[in-house]
Structure 1
């Protein structure tokens, strides 16, 4: 519920509220005549009496008559207090939870950089404020068959040219040199597809407003890693000296 959209979140709360009242209404109906001014055996009257009890409305038209109904009202009143506290806590958590609002390029590229084949992808900060002390961890996941013939998923962390960014404000191109020490060394696109390669990206940083950690995750599969392409430049400088990121071209590449 913390990551659902607001319309879906409120729909879930409304559904939970209705379900709770439907359940209590079923128990109220068992005691025919247990509610003053309610039609005996009326599930609809029992439902609206439950709504009034759970919401502590107390209009005074319907009221409990028997011991059974009074005990049930006591249980529902306590349930209502817990429900309101729970809903309030969830809503507060949603408002106080910082969202990363970080966008990753749709593809990763392998292109020469200073004469070395380099895996690159880029990310941009869509927030109104910078992300402080940002760091990124990139992990290679692929199928591996041991000498005994056992196939397993193997994870290897990739060494990056720069894994930390003290002030992530605009765009950040993450690069891994594919040298002889790299697990990707010598792999062709066909090899990556055969080994079911996945590049897992984990980014985290500090929200400078709330002083809380934020996290973002992305993954690139073998068919999303393109060779001999490079990203176009999306950074421009205005006449006032401000740097801007053109997100409309953020995913564009050209032949390298």
Structure 2
């Protein structure tokens, strides 16, 4: 395909089943920076199933280009709704906020939330954590401009103890696909992304339960934990949050095909 232009790349991607072939062709041509051989390689990798974001080295999330690399979970556009819910719950006049991005992956949630709160004039203390060393390294690169630390470890075990009782917003993009359904995921996810970021256990809520159990001790009075789930998991997820003494609610977005459950600590 060497020397081919936009129409040829579009046709190749379309034959491979890429739904947004025109958009992808534009991005791959830009990434190849006028190098036909490089373009051939990128197109061949994309046709073989490699996620577009791995080839580009970034994903757009809420208007930001967030770095990603092979082996790191690629944040989904539906998860922008989780950040919407987090930001909507912050008083417009708030001058400070402590934000934790747990199971942070590349750090997109924390980065976007902190950036947008900062644009409001809110002083944000952002901390992120993940159990996967590849994700930790990726998030550190993305969060360096904010001077936000990223810790490696298992959920709350990774966080510094002085955050206990101070977290205003706890973002936790936990895996929620039931184990039996992981094999049904699109190949881009199933074959390339880390299993630990996808497989949520028998009913998809194993990691969520652990987050809900630990959250009350880390949340500030009135602080919130926000987690994305499947629509069919809402009732169970709300019950889990309520059992930990949190006020539970759910929000759904038809536009984003997204469901978020929120647990709020008593403000007193």
Q: Normalised by the size of structure 1, how large is the TM-score?
A: 0.23
Structure having the larger proportion of residues in helix: 2
Structure having the larger proportion of residues in strand: 1
Larger Rg: 1
